[in-house]
Amino acid sequence: MQVLALRRWSTLDDAERRRILARSNERVFDPGLRASIQAIYDDVAARGDVAVSEATARFDKADIPPERLRVTADELAAAHASIDADLLAAIREAIANVRAFSEAQLAATAEGWRAEIRPGVVVGEKFSPIPSAGLFVPCGKASYPSVLVQIGTPAVTAGVPDIAVVVPPVPGTSDVDVATLATAHELGLTRVYRANGPAGIAAIALGTETIGRVRKVVGPGSPAVTMAQIIAQAYGVLTSMISGPSESVVVADGSADPKRVALDLLNEAEHGEDSAALLLTDSLPLAEAVDTELTWMVALLPEARAKAAHSALGTWGGAFVFGSMAEALDFANTYAVEHIQLATADPEATLGGLRYAGEALLGQHTTISETNFVIGVPATLPTGGFAQVTGGVTARTFTVPIAISKLDEAALAELAAPTLRLADHEGFPAHANALRLRGLG
């Protein structure tokens, strides 16, 4: 049974090309979804904690009264004490690597920078942690402590003084995933809330009796969660990106091992039926060999994961055969994928032609699974083509720059004439007087 839809890009019509490039993004921007999430915001604004509790009961089938929305310190400590030792060790390894990446990134601008761009004109920047952040950690299809590792560690390392975590309860219960709570405890995060995703995000965007407001919210989730983050911006809360359905690309030439290509394609393909996994190659024999490998690999998966893989590799993705690897890279830059693996004879050379992707994995020893969990690079990444304009959640996500400038007396005089010309043209007399009444111009 064929798993990998096989297409030659040159033979596809414009409608099919647009469909592949669009992925399943229409679910995120559905007008009906926007209206329903806005209604949750309106309810939370009007009724606060009670609205959050009722939304959690309605959507998550969990009875959590307002007084239990916040996870207690005792619950965090108990979760940390009860977690499997091997799992805790893995979480600590992941935190250590993400922290190392974050510290290296922050070190590049720890003292800010300054430059004299012309005599007497000094400019620069300094960076400060943002005052507060909200982290959304999903819990539905599975438990995701790795998400909190990936977005919580950079926030802590950046020095954000106020961090809130929103985690939906385990479906059908009022409990929060123990591994996620243990991760929060490991990171020293104490402001943790169990709440429905969209309602919890509305709460940290608006503020309620129990849940304090934040200025920025990040974290992957369902289309409803993504829409809740989009709407948060209307209330003065920034979100860093659109985190939609998972997606990956493997760029491979004839030198690639088809078994490893298949393994790495399945990595993101198993996430959900709205995910997309694409093989870009100039080798038809490779594509056919990869499909042969996928046939038996998919058979090893549980039914739900296998169904997701068939959709990701058939409906939304597949193998796309190009006339050359240069054409394949051109497509990759247009697609601007979340994860891209360069499985070519010379990955470094291939990287030179790559401009847009959430992350790039060089060679077949670098797996998406390890980058998702423990390597330390960001794993909460832009989807839906937004990698053309933004990157993943890192420590830099949780800092803000202040632009700095300084003129000496000679530079002040030298720049007076063009400043006055622009101020007069745009009709700002006080701007002009700031110089003329100093005796300049």
User: Which amino acid makes up residue 89?
Assistant: A
Torsion over CA of 392, 398, 399 and 400, rounded to 10 degrees? 90
Q: Is 318 in contact with 5 (CB distance < 8 Å)?
A: yes
Q: How many CA atoms lie within 13 A of 242 on its CB side?
A: 23
> What sections of 167-222 are H helices per DSSP?
178-187, 197-206
Across-strand partners of 217?
134, 239
- Would residue 365 show up in a list of annotated catalytic residues for this protein? no
Enumerate the H helices of 23-170 as residue ranges: 31-47, 49-60, 73-82, 85-107, 145-158
Q: How many residues in total does the chain contain?
A: 441
Residue tagged active-site, from 339, 348, 409, 414: 339
Q: Is 339 a known active-site residue?
A: yes
Among 247, 270, 293, 338, which one carries the catalytic annotation?
338
* Upper half-sphere CA count for residue 84 (Cβ side, 13 Å): 6
| CA triple 41-44-50, angle to 5 deg | 150
The number of beta carbons lying within 10 Å of the beta carbon of residue 105 is 18
Which residues belong to the active site?
338-339
